[in-house]
Structure 1
Amino acid sequence: MKMSEQLFGSYAGADVVEYTLSNDSGMTVACLNYGCVITKILVPDRNGNVENVVLGFDNFEDYPKWSPFFGAVCGRVAGRIKGASFELDGKEYALEQNDGPNHLHGGVKGFDSVIWRTEKIDADDAVGLSFFYTSPDGEEGYPGNLETKVTYLLTNDNELKVSYEARTDKKTLVNLTNHSYFNLSGNNKRDCSEHVLQLDSDRFLELAPDLMPTGEMPVSVNTPFDFTRGRKLKDGFESSYPQNVLVGQGYDHPLLFSTEGKNQIVLSEEESGRVLEITTDQPCVVLYTSNMLDGEFEISGVKARNYLGVCLETQGLPDAIHHPNFPSVTLNPEDVYRAATTYRFFTKMLGD
């Protein structure tokens, strides 16, 4: 196992460094100290061809200019907060409005667009990095000095283990996730229409026209949101179901796991044989099928277009502060926020 690094650019007067982690099984993960961005994940297909299975840019300048959170850690609070405000213990806090009147993924200066301090990890069975960032009291409107640590560990079992930890000196909100866009075809050869998604989820969050959760949790059975036996993502692209139409013909919804504890998600693509197995301790995964990715930019030489990647954002429920029936994302000074998600890649032979 090994790690290398190279200068990737500069941002706000600081060097942007790309770290490349490689294991002994043919898997490579590249990431930046800017936003903890994962720029590449290289894994073999069933024929041994090693290709990139996440969307990212070859040049740093494209990230601040174009990136829809490619590969980044989103925080302090992932997802949307209605009205860009919330109340804690009787005090109202006003956040940055960066999604119409609402607040999205931590605001204008979210965790995705800051330079993190890094420490290298070289263990017997893993290689990785820990990233550190202290968000000062009042940043983007949030209370409390928040000390955050994110760790990426690559194992020889072709696992990328991502863990999050945060502490605050004042009651605040925390809900972190990684916003990688996966495309298992490799090097963006095909879109994600034929990707099959399977997970144990019997409900999803209904969205209003402004894409905020209504608070309702419809049953998934007999809808395009039932992934219990696996279904192709194109089912949602082609669906006339109102919730699919609402978000631009596809998915941009939190899927709620049926049980608490360790939950598993499986994403696969038959043609390449690649399979991504995700295990998480979070209560939901936000499924986003890049319904609004079309734009005047390229992604590693491929024109940006809708459905080119699929995000599986393991996290707490969006806008939880405004829904008492949702699991809380409030962090008290005496507590520690912790979350963990593992991404494991392997291949299936034809007919498996």
Structure 2
Amino acid sequence: MAGMNLTPSDPSSFILMGIYGLESSHEWISIPFSISYIIGLLGNFMLLFVVGKEQTLHKPMYLLLCMLALTDIATSTSVVPKALCIFWFNLKGITLGGCLTQMFFLHTISIMQSAILVIMAFDRYVAICSPLRYTTILTNVQIAKLGLVGLIRAVLFSLPMPLFLTRLPFCANRIIPTTFCEHIAVAKMSCGDITVNKTYGLVIVFLVIGLDLTLIALSYALIIRAVLRISTKKSHQKALNTCTAHIFVMMIYYVPGLFFNLTHRFGQGIAPHIHIILSNLYLLLPPMLNPIIYGVKTKELRDKVCKYTCRS
């Protein structure tokens, strides 16, 4: 509780408390943070390196994996270095500009990741339902254009969040009980009315996640219908195996994300440190697990990775 009596020396800055309620365990908590960050960086950079080096992997599916890897690297790098500065050196201060910049990038990357998962679902739909037309419907150029549209959407949806916050008056006690600047957490530091912030945050959650999940569900409904028309069991399994990696990645992104966003707004009975741990897991687990999932589930990628890592 003593930490909550702190006030920033700079009136335009905030203090990030880390894992509020578990300050005495920060050094121990930094260990899984560091390990997951290093594993995530190694896995995603390896994926980018292998796809870049191997001409046979210059396909839409692997271009999408590279996009996902870039967003994973950006997500963890936006959060972990500052969190480790808090855990190891007690460097808790962050300027208002730095806080708003971190928030903007985190929300932009999160919305971009959701767009990439939608494009991946469409990629799997075309590969299974229209395999003969796959190379004409989905080219690398088309994937790049879809990725650009997803990025523009992410920027347009995220930009109002810091703009809304710049119009709010902030109280003298600017203590944010977490490791990073999140929209609602920063808004709660204001002495003004944050109804617009709360409403916009909820609209974005349901608009982005709701729309994207609907499109993904539609894609998989069409995929399942196409698979059921295939006569042999072996063909069923082969078709569905092409989707398993995407399904796993989608689950570790959407399930924790929905749980975090809803409990952060409506779970007042949950202990603060549980909220903070969940929010960090939401940002740390996907970057660490995504390259592992695709490395295990995608034989072509696995073989190419082994080509570089298993040389005698």
TM over 0.5: no
Calculate the TM-score normalised by the size of structure 2.
0.26
Larger % of strand: which? 1
Calculate the TM-score normalised by the size of structure 1.
0.24
Larger % of helix: which? 2
Q: Which has the higher contact order (CA 8 A, sep 6+)?
A: 2
